[in-house]
């Protein structure tokens, strides 16, 4: 599985609660785990203490609701976002937010290759992100199911605001 980039500047990694947050948290300066299930949050907090992961926090809520504020806390050129959406894929507003804010790296994990392909096409449209790698993982032998992990890198920095205050 692709690892989050090790950023030289202070940055963060936005991860989903559980395995990914706790397993990858040591690779980044700080991380935020987002999960709808409050019991999963409590479990992740306990596991973080056991694993010595003091550089992260876990928040309850929907990614599409929390991601805008979280992306404002971290510098886009120093941020990796890890997405692990349900089979239906990411919501359109989440994908558009990532295209607008342009974090340095997006790691997208999917259990449904068709929705992953749809979402990656949206993220990579107009050269915003570049698909660096896709790794299929046959975790369910003798079934039609496959997990895929995609590593996307931001190609184009966010455009400068069109309006600016006059200087004196």
> How many Cβ atoms are within 10 Å of 152's Cβ, its own excluded?
25
3-state secondary structure of 39: helix
Residue recorded with tokens 């599409």 = 64
How many angstroms separate the Cα of 33 from the Cα of each of 71, 98, 132, 156?
13, 17, 24, 26
> Which residue in 90, 111, 124, 148 is the catalytic one?
111
The yes-or-no answer on residue 148 being catalytic is no
Say if residues 48 and 22 touch (Cβ distance below 8 Å): yes
Active site residues: 111
């Amino acid at each position: 599985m692709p690892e989050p980039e090790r950023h030289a500047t202070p940055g963060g990694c936005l991860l989903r609660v559980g395995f990914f947050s706790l397993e990858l948290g040591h690779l980044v300066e700080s991380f935020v785990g987002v999960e709808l299930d409050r019991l999963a949050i409590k479990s992740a907090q306990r596991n973080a203490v056991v694993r010595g992961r003091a550089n992260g926090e876990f928040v309850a809520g929907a990614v599409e609701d929390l991601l805008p504020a979280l992306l404002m806390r971290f510098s886009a050129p120093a941020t990796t976002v890890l997405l692990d959406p349900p089979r239906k894929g990411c919501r359109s507003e989440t994908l558009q937010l990532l295209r607008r804010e342009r974090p340095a790296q997006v790691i997208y994990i999917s259990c449904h290759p068709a929705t992953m392909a749809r979402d990656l096409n949206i993220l990579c449209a107009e050269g915003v992100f570049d698909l660096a790698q896709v790794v299929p993982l046959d975790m369910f032998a003798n079934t039609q199911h496959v997990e895929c992990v995609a590593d996307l890198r931001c190609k184009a920095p966010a455009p400068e605001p069109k309006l600016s205050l006059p200087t004196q």
